[in-house]
Structures are given as structure tokens and as C-alpha cells.
């Protein structure tokens, strides 16, 4: 009888361990499936900062805007990741306005995919139309400020540094166009 109880207890432990391993494996699989590359086709690999500004300035949504000293948010609908990034977007907007930057939000579709591979994305342009930053807000599942790529760039810009960064090697919650 004791041997049977011991065997049952051992069987329950093995079952629990198998369930735990399966659950963790499934969780990792689904998290990895949601983490996608910002620029999976590499469209930004060969683009210079000046060329990127020129291409974006030609777009109908932006060709009437003076992009100097601005932060441009690029979002697409329906994109769950754009919704997840709303808090981060609001933080960036406040910071940009404190720095004296104009803030624009542009809703884009697939017509932009040769220039902007995924959303949500942001563009920061300096005083003389020089690129400061282009890329996603952050990495990770939530597009949160804790994993921000753009916050450091804004802080450095405030201190007078311009990295002219085109960030295309990020994995996170993005909607590819």
C-alpha cells in the first residue's frame, strides 16, 4: 500500500513537471511569435539620414510641413501595437514639447512600406532638417518607455548631441506594413 501511494505521489510530481515544462515552452513560443523585427526586409539598411528625410518630406502627408525641429509619430490602423504604445507616445510628446519641438502624428498605410517598414515609429528632426532619430519607440512586447530606444536619443539631443540614428535592428511589438 505504501509503495502504491509513493508511486502515485511520484506520478503526480512527474505530471506536474511535464505540465510546467509544457506551459513555459508554450509561453516562450507565443511571446517569440509576437516579437517581430522592425525592418524585416532591410529597407533601411542602405538609406542615409539625408535621403530618409528627403523621402519622407516628399510624402503627401508631410510635404506641406516644415519638418525642422519636429517629432513625427507614425501609426497605422488597425495596429494593436500602436494602442499599446499610447502611454509612451504621450511621454515622448510631452518631452518633445518641453524641448520646443513641433509634434505631428501621421496615420500611414502600406504606401509607406518602402520607407517605413513598421509602426509604431517615430522621426525626430533637428533645427536644420537633420535627422536625429528614426525608428521604433522601444523594443519588447509592450512598446513601453522602460525599453525605450528613443528616450536616450531625446536626452542626448537636449544636451546638444545628435546621433543621426536610424534604428532598424529592433525586435518588439510592431505592425509590419
Q: What is the pLDDT of residue 106?
A: 92
Q: Give the DSSP letter string of the chain.
A: -HHHHHHHHHHHHHHHHHHHHHHHHHHHHHHHHH-EESSTT-TTTT--HHHHHHHHHHSTTTTTS--TTEEEEEE-SS-HHHHHTHHHHHHHHHHHHHTT-EEEEEE--GGGTTT--EESEEEEE-TTS-EEEEEESB-BSS--GGGBSHHHHHHHHHTT----EE----EES-EE-
Higher pLDDT, 27 or 151: 151
Is there a single domain that holds both residue 1 and residue 51? no
CA distance 113 to 95: 28
Structural domain boundaries, residue 58: 38-176
Q: What is the pLDDT of residue 30?
A: 44
Is there a single domain that holds both residue 62 and residue 12? no
Is there a single domain that holds both residue 161 and residue 81? yes
Tell me the pLDDT tens digit for each residue of 52-87: 999 998 888 888 888 999 999 999 888 888 888 888
Is there a single domain that holds both residue 13 and residue 48? no
Q: What's 168's domain CATH number?
A: 3.40.30
Is there a single domain that holds both residue 29 and residue 111? no
Q: What is the pLDDT of residue 72?
A: 96
Please check the confidence at residue 45 and state whether its pLDDT lies above 60. Answer: yes
Domain count for the chain, please give it: 2
The pTM assigned to this predicted structure is 0.80
Is there a single domain that holds both residue 116 and residue 81? yes
Mean pLDDT, the chain, integer: 83
Is there a single domain that holds both residue 106 and residue 45? yes
Please check the confidence at residue 153 and state whether its pLDDT lies above 70. Answer: yes
Q: What is the pLDDT of residue 78?
A: 83
Q: How confident is the model at residue 95 (pLDDT cuts 50, 70, 90)?
A: very high
Q: How confident is the model at residue 101 (pLDDT cuts 50, 70, 90)?
A: very high
Tell me the pLDDT tens digit for each residue of 3-44: 656 656 666 666 666 656 656 554 444 444 568 999 999 999
Higher pLDDT, 133 or 78: 133
Q: What is the pLDDT of residue 18?
A: 60
Amino acid at each position: 500500500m505504501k509503495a502504491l501511494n509513493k508511486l502515485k505521489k511520484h506520478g503526480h510530481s512527474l505530471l506536474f513537471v511535464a505540465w510546467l515544462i509544457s506551459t513555459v515552452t508554450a509561453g516562450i513560443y507565443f511571446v517569440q511569435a509576437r516579437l517581430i523585427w522592425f525592418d524585416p526586409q532591410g529597407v533601411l539598411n542602405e538609406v542615409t539620414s539625408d535621403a530618409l528625410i528627403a523621402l519622407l518630406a516628399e510624402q503627401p502627408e508631410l510635404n506641406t510641413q516644415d519638418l525642422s525641429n519636429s517629432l513625427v509619430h507614425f501609426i497605422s490602423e488597425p495596429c494593436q501595437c500602436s494602442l499599446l504604445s499610447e502611454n509612451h507616445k504621450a511621454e515622448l510628446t510631452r518631452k518633445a514639447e518641453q524641448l520646443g519641438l513641433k509634434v505631428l502624428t501621421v496615420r500611414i498605410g502600406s504606401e509607406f512600406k518602402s520607407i517605413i517598414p513598421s509602426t509604431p515609429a517615430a522621426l525626430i528632426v533637428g533645427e536644420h532638417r537633420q535627422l536625429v532619430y528614426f525608428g521604433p519607440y522601444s523594443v519588447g512586447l509592450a512598446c513601453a518607455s522602460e525599453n525605450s530606444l528613443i528616450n536616450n536619443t531625446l536626452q542626448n539631443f537636449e544636451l546638444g548631441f545628435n546621433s543621426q540614428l536610424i534604428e532598424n535592428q529592433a525586435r518588439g511589438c510592431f505592425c509590419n506594413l
